[in-house]
Every structure is written in C-alpha cells, then in structure tokens.
Amino acid sequence: MRSFVLLAAALPLAQSIRIIQSNDDGWAEANLRTFFDVLNSAGHQVVLSGPAENQSGTGSNDAAPKQVDADGCIHASCPGKSPPTGANATDPRLNYVNSFPVTSIKTGIDVTAPKLWNGAKPELALTGPNVGGNVAVQVPFSGTVGAATYAAKTAQIPAIAFSGQTGNPTAWNAPTPLHSKVYADLALNITTTIINSGKPYLPANTYLNVNFPAVTETKCNKPSEFKYIFTRINTGVLSSRDANWCGSTRLPWEADVILLRGSSCYVTISPGDANDKSTVNDAAVQTQIINKLKPLLSCLP
C-alpha cells in the first residue's frame, strides 16, 4: 500500500506540540486510531480521549461518565462492567470515557492529558476523522463537531473537526482501510499547515469544519488528486459579505463542493463559529484563517 505521508512532504515539518484527540464514533474506531498513529509518527505529543461507545449524533450533550455496560466498549475494546473511564493496558495515551464526545474531550483536556504532560494542557484539539460527512444540517448534531466546539469555546483551545464521506465502523485492530489512511494523511497536512502558521493557530472562538470526499481504489486515492477549498458551512444568503477570496466575496457552500462536486476530489475547509457551529460571518476573521491556510488552498474552476 502506498504511503500517503508524502502528502505533507512539500511543507516544512511542524514543531512538536501537545494535541488532544476525540471523536463521536468511539475510541477504538480505525479512523481515529490511524490519525493518532500518523500524528505520533510526525513527532507530536498526542493524547486520545474518546467515547467508549458510538455516540454519533449526540451533538454537544455532556454527562458524567458511567460504568460500562455488560457488552463492553465498542469493538470489544474493553470488558463489560469496566470503570467509567479507562486507558489502554499498554499505552496510557489511549483513553475511553463512557459518555458523550464533549465529556470525552473535556475529560482529556482537564484530567487525562495534564497527568501525562506534567500539568500542561493541549495546544490543539483534533476530532475525527468522523465516519461519514458532517455537512450543512448535519453539523449541529454531530458529536465530532460538538467536541471540537467545546474545545474552541469553553476550553479556549483551537480545534479542527474532520469528517470523511467513505467508510463504515471499523475496529482499531482490523486491517486498516484505504480511506482511513488517506483521511489521516490529509488531516495531517491541514494540521501541519495550521501549526506552521504560528500561534494563535486559529482566532478565538472559532473552529474548522473539514470534510473529505469519497475515496475509492481508483479515484481520490493519490495526494496529487486532492484540492483544498475554503467554504461556508451554511449558504450565507442572508449574511454579510465574506472575505474577498478567489475573486468573490461569497465563499462557496461546502455541501455543494463536497457532495455535488465530490468526484473532483475536493476537501472543504469551513471557518466555524464555536458559539453556534455555523459559519464565521466576519470577513476579517475569515481572512485571518485564509492567510493561515494559503499554502494549501485552491480556487474552484
């Protein structure tokens, strides 16, 4: 299988930083674990804190963790009746929280990561890649987005939510799917670009909503095929004008780019308002983010 780490090779190596990871599909999901491995190989200090079970569609729900039920964690990754929180027996950086994605990332930020980092907290929060896209009306209900917006708004940690159109739930110890490898390296490319742009990595109370297109054995499976498009989460018909980018003051709608033009291998990156999960409608803030992502971004034809 070809290596997709080459995707970021054109960019300078990012400095090593502290990263907290989570998702809503469960701590033992292949997409999340593959991204963990790629971030670790890139030299970052990574702590994963994800839900014990699939918590897709739970938005920003938050509740105290409870004892794991008799069936155990997702993909048989912990025994039945396990404690409310726990770690992999051989790697304390891999952690489950038997509650919602927001609770999972909050526990990682406030408790788990500081214990492993001598009291330090994360510098960047990365959620996903989600199994399935998070586009338009899906965004407010996504636990992957909910965890990212908690980090950006409440914990004041820059955050990126990643989602991919291809895939089904896959265990961490199953053969790694092609799409998981592709999405992990695309996500690393965006992460590296943001880190290389310098602190603050993102403006306050903002997050990035990133969606990857479908991946197949014959299409959208080589680094050279992907282009990154700066988009809006919602259409913006009644919003003020966007940043002046690609010859327009109205950014394209991510649903149009990722769904209707998905065969073109476009990755959408949308600036999100962590207060309500919609598009950041401040053109000046959009411009700040565009300037950070310029090494990656392309314009639609």
What percentage of the chain exceeds 70 in pLDDT?
95
The predicted model scores a pTM of 0.95
Amino acid present at 156: Q
- Give the mean pLDDT of 92-106: 98
What CA–CA distance (Å, rounded) separates 151 from 113? Answer: 14
Asked if 128 and 31 touch (Cβ cutoff 8 Å), the reply is: yes
Residue in 107, 105, 163 with CA at minimum distance from that of residue 134:
163
* Domain 13-298, CATH class in plain words: alpha beta
The per-residue pLDDT for 1 is 36
Residue in 85, 100, 88, 109 with CA at minimum distance from that of residue 51:
100
pLDDT at 3 over 90: no
Domain boundaries, the chain: 13-298
Q: CA angle at residue 258 from 142 to 31, to 5 degrees? A: 50
Residue in 80, 159, 85 with CA at minimum distance from that of residue 115:
85
Asked if 101 and 50 touch (Cβ cutoff 8 Å), the reply is: yes
The per-residue pLDDT for 5 is 43
What CA–CA distance (Å, rounded) separates 49 from 101? Answer: 9
- Give the mean pLDDT of 23-28: 98
Asked if 53 and 143 touch (Cβ cutoff 8 Å), the reply is: no
Cis preceding-peptide flag for 200 (omega within 30 of 0): yes
What CA–CA distance (Å, rounded) separates 38 from 196? Answer: 17
pLDDT band at 13 (very low <50, low <70, confident <90, very high): low
Distance of CA 162 to the CA centre of its chain: 3
DSSP letter, residue 259? I
